[in-house]
Amino acid sequence: MIELLGKSLSELQEIMVSHKIPKFRGKQLIDYIYSRFIFDFQDMTQFPKSLRDWLEKHCTITLPTIIAESISPEGNTRKLLLELSDGSRIETVLMAQHYGNSICVSSQVGCAMGCVFCASTQGGLFRDLTVAEIVGQVVLFRTLADEAIHSLVIMGAGEPLQNYNNTVQALQLIHEPYAFNISYRKMTISTCGWVPNIYKLADEGLPITLALSLHATNDTVRRQIMPVGARYALDEVLEAVTYYYNTTQRRITFEYILINDVNVSQDEAHQLGRIGKQFPNCHINLIPVNGNEHIQLYKPSNKDMNTFKDIVSSYGVSVTIRKEMGDAIQAACGQLKAAHGRKEEIHE
């Protein structure tokens, strides 16, 4: 079966032509999938019956199945646990912001990074998501919300720069006017610091925002809470991020999770301020750790978090403490999946 979801216009046109179907049918298919959200070939009534039957026999449009859904009490955060065609499960989140709907997308089933504060890495990496599976998360939320998607972040389960080609191809399709018409400037890729592909992404020439999961200001602590730190030293990571900034001129975001008794000393706040000062117009996003029964880590007191923030801010760096939109619905990566009995993938 030919999977049509995730194919670009030129790819769909090539499929049509290679099967002696008029090229313009590819444009009609794109319209059905991304504008009308019609996925049953028999409902594509612009097509003659013979073409509908051929599509049904030879092609598929495979969307994930919703296993569970959680909506925050305020109604501004909506999380889905999705099952893919092979039984793998992923999570995706829609956040209603003041500027519009933002969707947080997964790029892998599981994760190999091993960050101690993240539930999605507990079972390790199972596999990369396909282009169709990444795009399918956006399609599914678009049909459920019935509202435009303003921005997109690749911050769900997985390290997107490990699944580089599929992630970039998915974003290129999502950017297209015939798909979701989301500007690259409204897209963010979050990475733990996969150094070679930070350079590669910089050279793509796409003005995508890079968010570095920093989470520590020295290699000793970073390697304790982020095993990827054993592969790439902090200096190497920051050198790659500097290249990305200089090449793209895009504002860099640093994600820094706040874990009580681990990485929130005043010395670390000063060092974080000094790191931020090296990147003009950067933003530092302080994130209180989302501790729970699966992750035995705890956030600092509000007083300590505000002291940490004030020290970083004293270096002239833009810094905020992230609003905890998803606590009530287990919106942190991997929590909903773990709550439904699936910490790792099991397939027969």
Please give the pLDDT value at position 254: 98
pLDDT surpasses 60 at 326? no
User: Which residues are designated catalytic?
Assistant: 91, 333
Domain boundaries, the chain: 2-60, 65-339
Residue 75: the pLDDT is 83
Evaluate whether 116 touches 123 at the Cβ level (below 8 Å): no
Please state, as a whole number, how many other Cβ atoms lie within 10 Å of the Cβ of residue 242: 14
Instruction: Identify the pLDDT of residue 310.
Output: 98
pLDDT band at 293 (very low <50, low <70, confident <90, very high): low
Least confident of 30-34, 78-82, 226-230, 301-305: 226-230
**Per-residue model confidence (pLDDT) at position 103:** 95
**Which tokens in the block code for residue 217?**
């200001």
65-339: CATH class? alpha beta
pLDDT tens, position by position, 175-220 = 999 999 999 999 999 999 999 999 999 999 999 999 999 999 999 9
Tens of pLDDT along 1-38?
Answer: 999 999 999 999 999 999 999 999 999 999 999 999 99
Distance CA 330, CA 332 (A): 6
- The domain made up of 2-60 has a fold known as DNA polymerase; domain 1 (1.10.150)
d(CA 105, CA 176): 18
pLDDT at 99: 82
pLDDT above 90 covers a percentage of the chain that reads 81
What pLDDT does 212 receive? 97
Confidence class of residue 64 from pLDDT cuts 50, 70 and 90?
Answer: very high
**pLDDT number for residue 121:** 82
pLDDT, average across residues 217-227: 95
> Which CA distances in Å does 43 have to 3, 55, 56, 125, 151?
18, 12, 11, 38, 30
- For the chain, what percent of residues have pLDDT higher than 70? 92
Residue 95 has pLDDT above 70, yes or no: yes
Dihedral Cα 211, 217, 223, 229, nearest 10 deg: 40
Check whether 158 has a pLDDT greater than 90: yes
Q: Would the pLDDT of 269 be above 50?
A: yes
pLDDT bucket at 334, cuts 50 / 70 / 90: very low
Residue 257, SS3 per DSSP = strand
* Bridge partners, 255 (sequence order): 213, 285
Overall pTM > 0.85: yes
More confident residue, 233 or 147: 233
User: Quick count: other Cβ atoms within 10 Å of Cβ 184?
Assistant: 18
Q: Of 115-129, 131-145, 263-277, 304-318, which range is least confident? A: 115-129
